[in-house]
Amino acid sequence: MFTRPSSGNLAPALLCAFFIAALVAPAAHATADAPDPVSVLGYYAQAFNDRDPELIDVLYAEDYVMVVVVPPQAEFIDRASAVDASQNMINDKEVSSLALTFEDGYTVAEGTDAGTWRIEDLRMTVAAEFVEGSRMGVPSHSETGCSTLYVRESATNEGMFEIFREVMFEGVGCEKK
């Protein structure tokens, strides 16, 4: 059902964009002297809104895995495929603009391993506008989805967080609050 997008096929790459969060306010648990794991969302938004494919490579940990849950199945997508899909969409000349937003109401919880966190109940919407005459055949497209990000402080980029697991839910998860 989910295939690795090619640079010539934007529709599957749009599915990848669901997993991207946009501009957020700092979480209430952040302190002035401690980095905030929610800061990863701002960088994620920056990567897409500024069309910065290199930032995607920085944000996805070396052991990054995406899990797409569509009951009764779950699909695993490796880091290379996820990076390719995201970078293909960012670099696609037929996409004139990307807008990535999510609703308030996400939660941040400490992970099971020390120094890890889960950002849960992320309801996201990605909207893309296409250049006139694009192969998509429509002027714009948007999708809304739900995911959980598993983050930790980056070992290679001080003060930044990286995403090591991303779970996207279709038809389950993200209860409306």
Residue-range domain boundaries for the chain: 10-25+34-169
Confidence band of 68 (pLDDT split at 50, 70, 90):
very high
* pLDDT at 24 (0 to 100): 29
User: How far is 13 from 30, CA to CA, in rounded Å?
Assistant: 33
Phi, then psi, of 55 in degrees rounded to 5: -65, -35
Question: Does pLDDT of 48 surpass 90?
Answer: no
User: How far is 137 from 139, CA to CA, in rounded Å?
Assistant: 7
CA 168, 153, 89, 106 torsion-angle sign: positive
Domain 10-25+34-169 = CATH 3.10.450.50? yes
Over range 117-139, report the average pLDDT.
87
